[in-house]
Structures are given as structure tokens and as C-alpha cells.
Amino acid sequence: MKKITERIKNILIILATLSLCFVLCLILQYIFNDSALISAIFVLGVYLVSVLTPGYIYGISSALLSVLMVNFAFDFPFFAFNFTIAENIVSAIILLAVTMLTCGLTAKVRHQDAIKADRDKERMRANLLRAVSHDLRTPLTTIYGSSSALLENYDNFSDEQCKEMLKGISEDSQWLHRMVENLLSITKLDSENVKIIKTETVLDELIDSVLVKFAKRYPNQAIDVDIPDDFVIVPMDALLIEQVLINILDNAVQHAEGMTSLKLKVFTISNKAIFEIKDNGCGIPESNLKDIFSGAYTTISETCDTKKNNAGIGLSVCASIIKAHGGDIKVENEKTGGCVFRFTLNMEDIWNE
């Protein structure tokens, strides 16, 4: 069904573009009484069709139709097909050749761009895989080492030492759990055909759920919350948007050195809900801002006496989720210090349903 819809759309593009060219040529010929621009206009039309439609077929079809339309309406005898006159034949051959070349070059450029995009995507995946491999190895080594030490030498450790080692195992296990959740989300969302099932979500309930889950992880970290007093409903996959908010808040706690304030603000403008997470920490190096959602961004954090590379997996997941929702996400440094993550979701006018 989707292929049929796409095919109909491409056919309509051809008809609309060539019809516009046809009408424009009639107007210009009427005004200037000159057919010099007609071929150029139809070449432009074929180029537009080639850009707006995939593959070669639609471009070639529009080229053939252009030749027929020019011969029918703008070559002698007017408004009749005639391919017996030498001048008409030469004009048709030249127009067909130019339009076919235009179509071919456009398709070739698009194909090369697609190949380059695929290469960049594969390179990013490879970098991501290397970073993830390192990220997973470090906490697993810590968990294995601590648990083995406790099993083999339990009697040699004091209660305080045992609690400290168990705390390290627990924290590294939670970190691994979050990493696996994010990787699973990337796997599910890493598809152009992904379809998010949105449900009407009450904003207050979403924020309450996020705060409860965040407080379990960081009971000593306060969050200043500012949300509308009005009853706000936003269509979304609530679990995925929760993950976005928790990932960004988690990123602030882990990496915003010197942070003393963490704020979560939500407000509405027109038919959009805008979420902001702001901290007053060290900010993000300007050179890293453009790559922060790519999965290639790397920072160093210390947890449980071990250094772990955070490859920006969580932020890459955030970008994928927001993109799948049809929204946009960005980050910028604040002039007063720290940074602000901001993402936007489209709202539904429930009164018009």
C-alpha cells in the first residue's frame, strides 16, 4: 500500500511540474511571441522531477512527455503531433538528449550522496561499537573482580569494605542496565520505517514519573521544576520521552562538573510543547556541540573508583527518539555557565478531534 501511495505521489509530481511548465510556456509565447525559452523551461521541469522523485524511471518518463508536449503545442503545425518535419525531429532529439542527460546526472549525484551517507553511517556505527565495547568491558571487569574477591576472601573483609564493594557492584550494574536500555532503543529506532505509536499523555503525569525514577537513582540531587499550571496533553510514546528526559538529566549529573542547580522546564508555544533541561555546570566544549547527538561524543567520568568512557550513547538515543516523534532537539551553552538541552514535540488540538 505504501509503494502504491508513493508511486501515485511521484506521478502527480510529474503531472503538476510538466503542467506548470506547459502553462508557463503558453504565457511566455503569448507575451513575447517567441519559442526560444520553451525547451529550457521543459529541461528545468525534468530536472525538478528528477530531484523530487527517486530513481531514473520518473525522470525519463517526464523527458519523453516533455518532447511530446513541445512537439504537440509549440512546433509547427501547432496542437498536432508531427515528427515528419526535419526541424521537429532535430528539436525533439536535442530536447530528449538534454533532458535525459539532466535526468541521468541528477540521479547519479543523488546516488553518490546516498553512498556517502551510508559510508558515514557505517563509520559512525563502527566508532559507536568500539566505544560501547570499551564502555561495557570496564564495569563488567569491576563487577567480576569485586564479586570474585567477596566470594573467595569474604572473611578477610570488614563489613564496611563489603558494603563499599557491594555498592560499587550495584552502581556499575545500574550503569550497565541503562546502557543496555539505550542500545536496545537505538536498535529499535535505527530504521527509516520506524513508526512511533503516540498516545495522549498528561504532562503532569509524565513529569511525575520522570522525577520518581530519577530520585531513585540520585536521591540527593534536587531538580527545580517549572511546568504550566494548565492541563496540558501531548501526544507521544510516554516511555520513550521519559527515557529522553532521564538520559539528559543523567548526563547533567554525570558530566556537568561544578553543577549546583538543575532545572526542568516545560512550556507551550502555539501547537508545540518545549522541554528544557538546564544546568549551571562546566558546559560543553564548542568543538563537541555539533557531534553530541551522533554517538561519537566522548567524555570521561569516574564512578566506583573506575574511569568509564561515556560515548554519548544516551544522547544519541535522545536524538533518535525525538526525530521519530517528528520533533527536534538541540543543545547550547549558556552565557552564564552550564548548558541547556531543548527539544520540541508537536501538540494535538484535542478540542478539534
3-class secondary structure per residue, 14-82: HHHHHHHHHHHHHHHHHHHCCCCCHHHHHHHHHHHHHHHCCCCHHHHHHHHHHHHHHHHHCCCCCCCCC
State mean pLDDT over 49-72.
Answer: 84
Q: Is the pLDDT of residue 188 over 80?
A: no
Q: Domain 194-352, CATH 3.40.640.10 — does that match?
A: no
Q: Where are the alpha helices (DSSP H) in 218-312?
A: 238-255, 286-289
What is residue 142's predicted lDDT score, i.e. its pLDDT? Answer: 86
> pLDDT (tens digit, 9 = 90+) per residue, 82-108?
777 877 788 778 877 887 788 788 888
The pairing of strands 306-310 and 272-279 is: unpaired
Q: Is the pLDDT of residue 351 over 50?
A: no
Q: Is the pLDDT of residue 350 over 50?
A: no
pLDDT band at 79 (very low <50, low <70, confident <90, very high): confident
Q: What is the DSSP letter of 326?
A: T
State mean pLDDT over 295-301.
Answer: 50
pLDDT band at 1 (very low <50, low <70, confident <90, very high): low
Sorted by where each begins, the domain ranges of the chain are: 2-116, 194-352
What is residue 305's predicted lDDT score, i.e. its pLDDT? Answer: 33
Between CA 261 and CA 125 the distance in angstroms is: 34
Q: Is the pLDDT of residue 37 over 50?
A: yes
State mean pLDDT over 131-147.
Answer: 80
Better-predicted residue by pLDDT, 100 or 262: 262
What is residue 9's predicted lDDT score, i.e. its pLDDT? Answer: 92
Residues 6+ apart with CB under 8 A from 257: 281, 282
State mean pLDDT over 296-322.
Answer: 58
- Say if CB 80 and CB 86 are below 8 A apart: no
Q: What is the DSSP letter of 156?
A: G
Better-predicted residue by pLDDT, 254 or 267: 267
- Say if CB 201 and CB 233 are below 8 A apart: yes
